Amino acid sequence: MPKSKRNKIVPLTKVKKKTKEWKEGIITTVRNFVDQYPSIYLVSYENMRNDKLKELREELLESSRFCLASNKVLKVALGHDETDEYRKNLALLSEEITGSAGLFFTRLPHDQVLKLFETFEELDYARAGSMATEDFELAAGPLNGPLGPLPHTIEPLLRKYGLPTKLNKGVVELVSDVTVCRAGDTLTSNQAALLRVFEVKMAAFRMYPIAQWQAEGQTFNRITQTNPIMLDNADGGEEEISE
């Protein structure tokens, strides 16, 4: 008798496992960049947005390359200590890799690199699990978005996200005052969705240089930052390399 296919779980997404060949490809690419570029910066980041990084990468294509991958793979590429470092003192840079971090290879002067990261900031909508940066409240009565009154079709969605709303002659109304979030709150999925509906952006994609290695003299230097970010994700995740 044929096997029943009812109640069969069908995955809607597929994530390819990072193969040995994939990791070896990143290691080779990193080492090629080491040979090609006079300066390497270790940068930490928060609220990564791949589309914004892609735009920055394209702007700097003639002078620089970004490399974001598993911290473990980056450390292997640079070397863990003096016995296996790819170039002298690269192991010192490798030791600093932790949290959400990546490598920036460049021909730009040091002052220009510092100015680049100091001024770089891209605002975007916060995601669930992010921290709210400000209070956001809604007053009872007709609800307006950035472009005016909200369409009546969105009312069921607002109720789904937890707002006490109703339709009054086709107008979306809030039954009572609601505090969507307070500064410092860890946002839930509903809170993040409501902030998007009302076009409130609380996430800033930023990057900070932490340390530098220079090919000339093969020197390593730490960079003091006024607001460094080294996040808790110890492995940094498995991200596709950006060239």
Give the pLDDT mean for 172-189: 95
Supply the DSSP string of 179-193, one letter for each residue.
EEE-TTPBPPHHHHH
Residue 96: its pLDDT value, please? Answer: 94
pLDDT tens for residues 73-91?
A: 999 999 999 899 999 999 9
Is the pTM value of this prediction over 0.85? no
Give the closest residue to 200 by CA, choosing from 118, 138, 120, 121. 138
Does the pLDDT of residue 102 top 50, yes or no? yes
**206 pLDDT tier (thresholds 50, 70, 90):** very high
Give 172's contacts (C-beta < 8 A, 6+ positions apart): 142, 143, 149, 150, 151, 152, 154, 155, 158, 165, 166
Compute the distance between CA of residue 134 and CA of residue 139 in angstroms, rounded to an integer: 16
Per-residue pLDDT, averaged over 92-110, amounts to 95
Domain span(s) for CATH 3.30.70.1730 in the chain: 21-118+206-222
Q: Which CATH superfamily is domain 136-197 in?
A: Ribosomal protein L10, N-terminal fragment, domain II (3.90.105.20)
The yes/no answer on whether domain 21-118+206-222 falls in CATH 3.90.1300.10 is: no
Res. 243: pLDDT tops 50: no
Which is more confidently placed, 50 or 17? 50
pLDDT at 8: 58
Where does the chain hold its CATH 3.90.105.20 domain(s)?
A: 136-197
